[in-house]
Amino acid sequence: MSETTLPPRQQEYLAKAQGQQKWYSKRAQTNQNRGNVLGIIMLVTSTITGGLALVNVEGAIKSLGIATGVIGGINTIATGIDRQHRFKEIGNRYRITSEEIKGHIRLLEADLIDFVEFSRRYEATKKKDLELFKEDAEEMNVA
């Protein structure tokens, strides 16, 4: 089904759904990138902290202790941010929602579902995402 075969209001609705799908996709990528950066920071700082603990250079013990403390602090902060914001988990959810919406659009475009079924599925996907968002917000407020 091409957009031109839909009445104007349905074309507008489909365009909004396509925009929403792109938004979810972009948010998924952003959250995945943030989660990956934090993961790399945690890995590198953990490795360096462990390595510094093994170094025993006369006269550098104080400097090594300070460096170990600072790097360990960076690791703790990165771990806390990762746990608080759950970038990878949220990115995965955004990706799932994006792909669900994309699937609904493709079914409509292939004439495998009619517009009413498309809108029902699209709205159900948005509702499910909103419910998960509310659960996350409540969980974060409790924590």
Cα angle vertex 130, ends 124, 131, to 5°? 90
CA pair distance 49, 99, nearest whole angstrom: 40
Structural domain spans, the chain? 3-142
pLDDT for the residue 65: 81
Torsion, CA 96, CA 98, CA 101, CA 106, rounded to 10: -100
Collect contacts of 2-8 with beta carbons under 8 A, ≥24 apart: 2/109, 6/115
Q: Pull the structure tokens for residue 59.
A: 């006269």
The pLDDT score that the predictor gives to residue 125 is: 97
Indicate whether this model's pTM tops 0.85.
no
The 10 Å CB-count burial string (b at 16+, else e) for 25-38 is bebbeebbebbeeb
The model's confidence at residue 55, banded by pLDDT at 50, 70 and 90, is confident
Residues 6+ apart with CB under 8 A from 1: 108, 109, 110, 111
More confident residue, 56 or 2: 56
User: 62 versus 8: which is more confidently predicted?
Assistant: 8
Nearest to 9 by CA among 129, 130, 116: 116
Give me the pLDDT at residue 51, please. 81
